[in-house]
Amino acid sequence: MATIPIQAAPSLDAILAQKPPKLLSEYGFFDDARSQKPATGVVPFRLNTPLFSDNAQKFRFAYLPEGKAARYDATEAFEFPVGAALIKTFAFPADYRKLEENLRLVETRVLLRQETGWQAWAYLWNDEQTDATLKIAGAKVEIATISADGSPLAFTYAVPNKNQCKGCHAFNGSIVPLGPKARNLNGDAVYDGVTENQLAHWTALKILTGAPAPEAAPEAPDWLDPSAPLDHRARAWLDVNCAHCHRREGPASNSGLFLTFGESVSVAYGVMKRPVAAGRGSGDRQFDIKPGDPDGSILLYRVESTEPGIMMPELGRHIADPDAAALLRQWIVEME
């Protein structure tokens, strides 16, 4: 009996279809999906500072149709042509002390650039890890693993429903990509054993046009890099983890709290700013950021919380990120 044929190359028909394919495999993004080996033309990338998603390990890929390129932008996500796709797989290791082993793929999210704009869909991996199925209404997945310190960790992970995708990926009401921004791609990655700057690599592959030399492009630090300035690390973390909503064009514009990397007005990024709609999220504290007083700062209260209605971000997180909280704490302590 013949095995089910696996599509070797990405399918533009699948990307542009009005009704999304039921199975992830129908897109043909992977040569070997289980090991996340991409098909030809599907380019892996990494981000200098990634979004925290319950400590999920992530595999990110960009696909551009033959002969087409994304247009560089210094501040916002690159402008991708119709037919482009961004693919992100979320996985959990059985044991965080052995990241490469027993990786369980949980979901793969795709952003598809269609004629009318971006479409966002999430695919839930089956238990056999052979394929993933479209989940419009989202899903809950029980995760049981071992933390880096050896303690057991169990929680319910949420695959977002279609509207929740837009809960973060909205810019003035339309869906946009968040990851592929110059400042977050401007760093090295390893391609077939060769280390290369990603902007330079994308330009060489002719899937990116208009990019300056990496030295001339903006660069956000790796938030965990102790050699980078504390202020940059904290602002890079807030940019990626908060500013998709907390920006003038985002879902949380009405809060008046704007956490993009380039925001220069201190009260706008929270310094001595009073809350407007925080409710119990205020934690009885008066200001979003009170310099020198992390325990008097609402921002830290909400980053440290795991309680719905209090925790931030309000989507995509169920467990705490103590390293991030420690960074923000130090940032506020040292703030004048």
Partner 1 sequence: MRSWLSRVVFPALLAGVSAGALHAAEISVEAGVGAEERLVEALIMAQPGDTVSIGAGRFELTEGLSLDVDDVVVKGAGQDATVLSFKGQTGSGEGLLVTSDRVVLEDFAVEDSKGDGVKSKGSDQITFRNLRVEWTNGPDAKNGAYGVYPVSSKNVLVDGVTVKGAADAGIYVGQSENIVVRNSVAEYNVAGIEIENSFKADVYKNRATHNTGGILIFDLPNLPVQGGHDIRVFDNDVVDNDTPNFAPKGNMVAIVPKGMGIMVMANRNVHVFNNRLDGNGTAHVLIAAYPNDYDDDNYMFVPRGVFVHGNTYGEGGGEPDGEVGKTISDVSGTPVPDIVWDGVTRIPEYFSWTSAENRVYVDEAEGTTFVNLKMISQLMLPWGWWPDTDIAGYKGSLPEPAPVKLPQDSGA
Interface residues with partner 1 (CB under 8 A) are 136-138, 140, 156, 158, 161-164, 166-167, 170, 173, 248, 251, 253-254, 256, 267-268, 272-287, 298, 307-309, 314-315, 318
Residue with smaller CB distance to partner 1, 81 or 283: 283
Q: Do 79 and 91 meet the contact criterion of CB atoms below 8 Å apart?
A: no
Distance of closest approach, residue 73 Cβ to partner 1, in angstroms: 23
Alpha-carbon distances, residue 60 vs 21, 93, 307 (angstroms): 20, 17, 29
Distance of closest approach, residue 27 Cβ to partner 1, in angstroms: 20
Distance of closest approach, residue 249 Cβ to partner 1, in angstroms: 10
Residue with smaller CB distance to partner 1, 167 or 218: 167
Distance of closest approach, residue 308 Cβ to partner 1, in angstroms: 4
Residue with smaller CB distance to partner 1, 107 or 219: 107
Structure-block tokens of residue 251: 């879902």
Residue with smaller CB distance to partner 1, 114 or 161: 161
Residue with smaller CB distance to partner 1, 193 or 279: 279
Strand pairing report for 132-134 and 117-125 = antiparallel
Q: How far apart are CA 280 and CA 311, in angstroms?
A: 10
Residue with smaller CB distance to partner 1, 219 or 304: 304
Q: Do 133 and 26 meet the contact criterion of CB atoms below 8 Å apart?
A: no
Distance of closest approach, residue 130 Cβ to partner 1, in angstroms: 21
Q: How far apart are CA 94 and CA 100, in angstroms?
A: 9
The alpha carbon dihedral of 16, 20, 22, 24 has a sign of positive
Alpha-carbon distances, residue 25 vs 61, 65, 148, 279 (angstroms): 15, 18, 32, 44
Structure-block tokens of residue 118: 């971006």
Q: How far apart are CA 78 and CA 208, in angstroms?
A: 9
Residue with smaller CB distance to partner 1, 214 or 316: 316
Distance of closest approach, residue 280 Cβ to partner 1, in angstroms: 5
Distance of closest approach, residue 75 Cβ to partner 1, in angstroms: 19
Q: How far apart are CA 34 and CA 265, in angstroms?
A: 46
